[in-house]
Amino acid sequence: MRDGFNKMMGKTRYVVSRVFVHLGGADVAPILGILNSIARDAIDGDGDMETLGQGLVELCESLLQYDEYWVSAANEGDVFWNEGEAGDFVNELFTDSAQRYGAEFDIGYTNDSNQALSIPVTNNVLVMITAAAEGEVPELETDLSNISALKQGLKGLINLHYKHKLRAVQVHFSPAQFGEELTNDQLLQYYPELIPL
């Protein structure tokens, strides 16, 4: 009822959503390279929405290609009719994501091919995508803890970029770089909301 009233009043609707995707298996480590590349581009782009949106598209397409490695997922979000409140919630999710285990991105990382042979390979990668968009996003405004819904949610995120509806994008991931490991125990401890797919 409130949605209808606000729509009649011409107010803008904002959807803020955070999606968790846990990938597992011996072959998931390469996605860290994609994540680090996207993170560097985002930092170089200095907050440019076009750059962030392109990174989001690349990430979602990569996750969709890695769907056979999806182990668990979760999502949360809310709808706002006030841009300031939506922004506050984005900041709240950003802070929470950044404080999760192993989600700190170190821009000083260099890819030393000589060192690569001795680096332990993680069997778990956790990706957290926070996005704010204008309007209705039914693909994200639902439970994404099953494979079909998660695929639709990731495609919905891609469409937000191409429809120019994105207002904020943040990506956190653990481990944040090669050589670090995210164990099953750490997943349970730091990401309790995950639901097996």
Domain spans, the chain: 2-109+121-191
Lowest mean pLDDT among 38-47, 54-63, 111-120, 133-142: 111-120
Question: Side chain identity at 117, as an amino acid letter?
Answer: L
Alpha-carbon span 127 to 174, nearest angstrom: 7
Q: In the beta sheet, which residues pair with residue 80?
A: 14
Residue 52: the pLDDT is 93
DSSP-based three-state secondary structure for 58: helix
Query: Which residues lie closer than 8 Å to 30 by C-beta, 6 or more apart?
Result: none
Instruction: Encode pLDDT of 98-110 as tens digits.
Output: 998 876 654 443 4
What's the one-letter identity of residue 100? R
How many residues in the chain? 197
Task: Identify the pLDDT of residue 105.
Answer: 53
Instruction: State how far the Cα of 139 lies from the Cα of 154, in Å rounded to an integer.
Output: 8
The whole-angstrom separation of Cα 156 and Cα 150 is 10
* Six-digit token string for 3: 């949605």
30: cis peptide before it, omega within 30°? no
The pLDDT, as a whole number, for residue 30 is 85
Percent of the residues in the chain that have a pLDDT greater than 70, as a whole number: 86
Return mean pLDDT, the chain.
88
pLDDT at 118: 47
In terms of pLDDT, which residue wins out, 148 or 45?
A: 148
Q: What are 115-165's pLDDT values in tens digits? A: 444 456 789 999 999 999 999 999 999 999 999 999 999 999 999 999 999
